[in-house]
Structure 1
Amino acid sequence: MGSRGRMLLVSSVVLLAGCTSTASGGTAAPAATTATTTASTPAPCAARVETGSLPDWARTGFSGDARVPHVFSANGDIVAVLFAHPLRQVREDGSNNKILWVARADTTSPDPTAPATLVITARLDGTDTRVIREVAGGPGPSIIDLPQAGCWRLDLSWSGHTDTIDLVYAP
């Protein structure tokens, strides 16, 4: 192909999103999802609510096979257990957007100077809307209300660790 006929190729990126449980109900293993994107385009919202058993490392305080709606983070280091599903921008029934954040034990920093607070920087997909929420004491129970319906990308930071999770809030 000559210089006039050269084409500009856009590279694609394979993304991993979500997790699935093993057939025996053991620990979670990643499940691949493929998406095409360019280097300048952020990955699409990948909120994926699981309804199977929680992984072994996230079952403390639950009985039985612990089947509750939950969402895994991109790295699989933290899971959002959704006690209110779907999450809603406005909860007219008086309930809350209660989320239990459970981090893998090996993501808790032994460094006593690392902040224990879970800091959540939430961005509404496709907009410049950004809000910050904090969960005192680090991953644990919380009520996370966000100002608009839509898919939110949450950048999470706790005990010297970071991860990302996408959550959808209905109107």
Structure 2
Amino acid sequence: MRAFLIGSTLLTALFAAVAVGRGAQPTPAQAETSCNASVVHYEQNRDAGQGLTELPWIAGGRGRQRIVGYLFYYPSVLGDRRANQERGVVIPTGGAVPSGANAKILWVPRGPSALTMLLTARQLDGPGAFRQRLHIASGGSYPSIITIPRAGCWQLTLRSGEAHATVVLQAIDAAPSGTCDATPIREEPNPALLSTIWIETIGASRPIYAVGSIHDGGSASEGATIATGGRKVMWVPSAPESVGLSLTVSGRRLDAVGIFRQQFPVAYAITPPVGPVFPSTIDIPTPGCWLLTVRGAKAAGIAVFGAVALTSN
């Protein structure tokens, strides 16, 4: 993988005088909630089996007791700001999402397990409780459809053989089908950017910032928008050591069928402040609501964009 050196003149030409700095911790984009839900990971799990590497996941327990839950339903809820602007996991009540899919979680224990897994759920902010017994499937995994009866903060305890873990889910009443709450645009100074218009990804790792063509379709209050056909976006890691030599951007349309995948090499600013950046031309194929998953070597996060057709005057 080739890396490139970028000086201040080229950065100015490409990204309208956006310069990269390093410094204080960013202010989190997500609001504090009363439910300390388990954090959703968007980086690829190195232990994931075939067909699971692109799925968001949560985990509980340590060592041989550890259990990972792969969130099959999650792309269907990521148009909702309660999911795409929070680090903690959310799940719709009733066991289904607006698209009609089930709220499926595949549980995979690290250590030896039994033929069944007992799932015990207890509402932390109310009187609710229920149990499910899950049966082992191929590869030693345990498929489940989690049917939570009411909104609230729910603790799930999972036991099977040596595996024993606890996770916390924020149960919500599902938003209407077609909801597209774009990632908020931040209009404030950022210690790591010489730009007052930017967004940040949400995920388990420290955020990756984006500047450039992130509000093509209207006012900043409408959230992140980008025109189709190829637009320049600069990705700036808040933790430079976590990104590696390339950045992958995977796109999935949330309101229709559509996917794309692009990879961009690292570049380095050679004038102070120095550090890795990822210049990109994001080529979204069609207008609509798009989920972008951004992954480096050890950092990953998501952003939701409203894609609009580029019009000429």
User: 1:143–1:100: structure 2 CA closer, same or farther, 3 Å change rule?
Assistant: same
| 2:23 aligned with 1:47 | no
Report what 1:67 is aligned to: 54
Please state how far the C-alpha of 1:146 moved relative to its aligned partner: 1.0
TM-score by length of 1: 0.60
TM-score by length of 2: 0.34
Do 1:139 and 1:158's aligned partners in 2 also have CA atoms closer than 8 Å?
no
Aligned-partner Cα distance in 1 for 2:50–2:115 = 21
> Could you give the per-residue CA deviations for residues 110-156 of structure 1, whole angstroms, max 9, x where no partner exists?
xxxxx421111011122221110111127422211111122211011
Query: Quick one: which amino acid aligns to residue 57 of structure 2?
Result: H
Please state how far the C-alpha of 1:97 moved relative to its aligned partner: 0.3
User: 1:140–1:128: structure 2 CA closer, same or farther, 3 Å change rule?
Assistant: same
Do 2:109 and 2:163's aligned partners in 1 also have CA atoms closer than 8 Å?
no
How many percent of aligned residue pairs carry the same amino acid?
30
- In structure 2, stretches of 5+ residues that fail to align are 1-34, 78-90, 174-313
Aligned-partner Cα distance in 1 for 2:55–2:144 = 16
Report what 2:170 is aligned to: 168
User: 1:83–1:69: structure 2 CA closer, same or farther, 3 Å change rule?
Assistant: same
Aligned-partner Cα distance in 2 for 1:75–1:166 = 16
Query: Quick one: which amino acid aligns to residue 160 of structure 2?
Result: W
Do 1:47 and 1:151's aligned partners in 2 also have CA atoms closer than 8 Å?
no
Please state how far the C-alpha of 1:99 moved relative to its aligned partner: 0.6
Query: Quick one: which amino acid aligns to residue 84 of structure 1?
Result: Y
Report what 1:97 is aligned to: 103
Aligned-partner Cα distance in 2 for 1:126–1:48 = 19
- In structure 1, stretches of 5+ residues that fail to align are 1-43, 110-114
- Flag the structure with larger Rg: 2
Please state how far the C-alpha of 1:162 moved relative to its aligned partner: 1.6
Q: How does 1:17-32 map to 2 (within 5 A)?
A: none
3-state SS, counterpart of residue 147 of structure 1: coil
Aligned-partner Cα distance in 2 for 1:61–1:118 = 22
Query: Quick one: which amino acid aligns to residue 108 of structure 2?
Result: V
Aligned-partner Cα distance in 1 for 2:109–2:162 = 12
